[in-house]
Structure 1
Amino acid sequence: MTVSGQHPTFADFRRQRARMVRRLEAQGIADESVLAAMRSVRRHCFVPEALQDRAYEEHPLPIGFGQTISQPYIVAYMSQLLEAKAGMTVLEIGTGSGYQTAVLREMGLDVCTVERVRELHFAARDLFAALGISGIRMRLGDGTLGWKEQSPFNRIIVTAGGPNLPLPLLEQLADPGIMVIPVGQTRREQKLLRIAKREGRVTARTLGNVAFVDLVGDHGW
């Protein structure tokens, strides 16, 4: 806890990050690569400066342009559901401020990320450079179309909710492969799905209710 009116220090943020990770462990996050990444990535750098003292709290925060940064548990949970190993290729739909992207990269994954909002795309690009985060391939465009030129992907993670599972993403998922995506017929209210592809067979598992910003594009809203 910081004194009102004082900006948190580096040590304050480090303590807050450590508390966040302990909370995630208590909530059932057990994948050590996920925990290590969230222990390392400075979440407060990915939210507006005025909200930095709330960066490690358990709720989403606005990042502008009608978009949000997901609460820490959702970031960790979706990352864990990927069951990803270092060196795998992952496609992220919805770069946003870049926090989920940075977590995936810190996990040792080869990350491709697509963002449709120009301002967020370039802000994330500049932030990665400022933080010394390299090895991320970025694209500005319609995320529901995926990134065919870079496919197939071992893993796909979608951080916005649409009415259906976009067919291009399913086609670009490797076999075997895993996709985690929120899908729902009502805007801002979805079911979190874990899609698995193996030997040409696709299965889906529903993992509870979530609320994400709209997945906008040819295969979204």
Structure 2
Amino acid sequence: MVEDSYKHKGMRRRLIQKLREKGINSERVLEAMGNIPRHIFFENAFLEHAYQDKAFPIGHGQTISQPYTVAFQTQLLNISPGDKVLEIGTGSGYQAMVLHDLGANLYTIEYQKPLYERTKNFLPQLGYKIHFFQGDGSKGLKAHAPFDKIIVTAGAPTVPNSLIEQLRIGGCLVIPVGDNTTQQMLRLTKVSDRKISKEVFSNFSFVPLKGEEGWR
């Protein structure tokens, strides 16, 4: 049983208010994040960090993303209930919980085996029905394509062709692209088999996307 006390809820309300002030305007995204007890990913000693708007290490060179980053990417995806969504980089599972609570039929892949094992065992205990995979997310999940939406939660040097190929017509890919320190957030919409529409948003800083079509 997850403890979600009055104190936790108060800290979460303040975080959601901060996200609103920073420009997150999707009430569905804010509501989903407002309902998820982010502190379950933190040891008690670090509870105060759970609802601060910053990233936090989770081991194996990975982080639980900053809440603003999670909200920003999720808002760009514009999830509709029933959307078939691929998440590249399961990590702690926090972003997966947000996508699931917005109604996504979620497929998620993690490069680091220990993180995959931990999250694959943890989230179902909380009642989350998600399709978990371990492997090279830069190549997507061809066997389960096409997807309505794809989200990449690690910084890529370029846009992986495999991910574009695995999008449905009309689907979109949200991905940070750049060097090892700073990336631009992109939203690529597959208008047709031959045409991709690209939108460019703010700069962010993610851990590197590992794999054949990422950083080797």
Q: TM (normalized to structure 2)?
A: 0.94
Deviation at 1:27, TM superposition (A): 1.6
Deviation at 1:9, TM superposition (A): 6.8
Identity of aligned residues (%): 42
In the alignment, what sits opposite 1:148? 142
In the alignment, what sits opposite 1:15? 10
Residues 122-142 of structure 1: per-residue CA shift (max 9 Å, x gap): 111122122222x20010000
Query: How many residue pairs were aligned?
Result: 212
Give the conservation status (yes or no) of the 8 Å contact 1:144–1:219: yes
Secondary structure (helix, strand or coil) at the match of 1:180 reads strand
Distance 1:43 1:29 in 2: 18
Give the conservation status (yes or no) of the 8 Å contact 1:91–1:153: yes
1:55-204 → structure 2 map (5 Å cutoff): 55-133=50-128, 135-184=129-178, 186-200=179-193, 201-204=195-198
Give the conservation status (yes or no) of the 8 Å contact 1:35–1:76: yes
Deviation at 1:53, TM superposition (A): 2.2
In structure 2, list runs of 5 or more residues that go unmatched: none
Among candidates 31, 38, 56, match of residue 36 of structure 1:
31
In structure 1, list runs of 5 or more residues that go unmatched: 1-7
Secondary structure (helix, strand or coil) at the match of 1:95 reads coil
Residues 72-102 of structure 1: per-residue CA shift (max 9 Å, x gap): 1110010000111111011000000000000
Structure 1 runs (4+) greater than 6 angstroms displaced: none
Secondary structure (helix, strand or coil) at the match of 1:15 reads helix
Q: Which amino acid aligns with 1:136?
A: I
In the alignment, what sits opposite 1:5? none
Deviation at 1:49, TM superposition (A): 4.3
Give the conservation status (yes or no) of the 8 Å contact 2:4–2:37: no
Give the conservation status (yes or no) of the 8 Å contact 2:79–2:103: no
For the aligned residues, what is the CA RMSD? 1.4
Counterparts in 2 of 1:116 and 1:49: CA distance versus 1, 3 Å: farther
Give the conservation status (yes or no) of the 8 Å contact 1:142–1:217: yes
Give the conservation status (yes or no) of the 8 Å contact 1:48–1:63: no
Counterparts in 2 of 1:158 and 1:12: CA distance versus 1, 3 Å: same
Deviation at 1:162, TM superposition (A): 1.5
Q: Give the stretch that moved more between structures: 104-113 or 13-22.
A: 13-22
Distance 1:17 1:174 in 2: 35
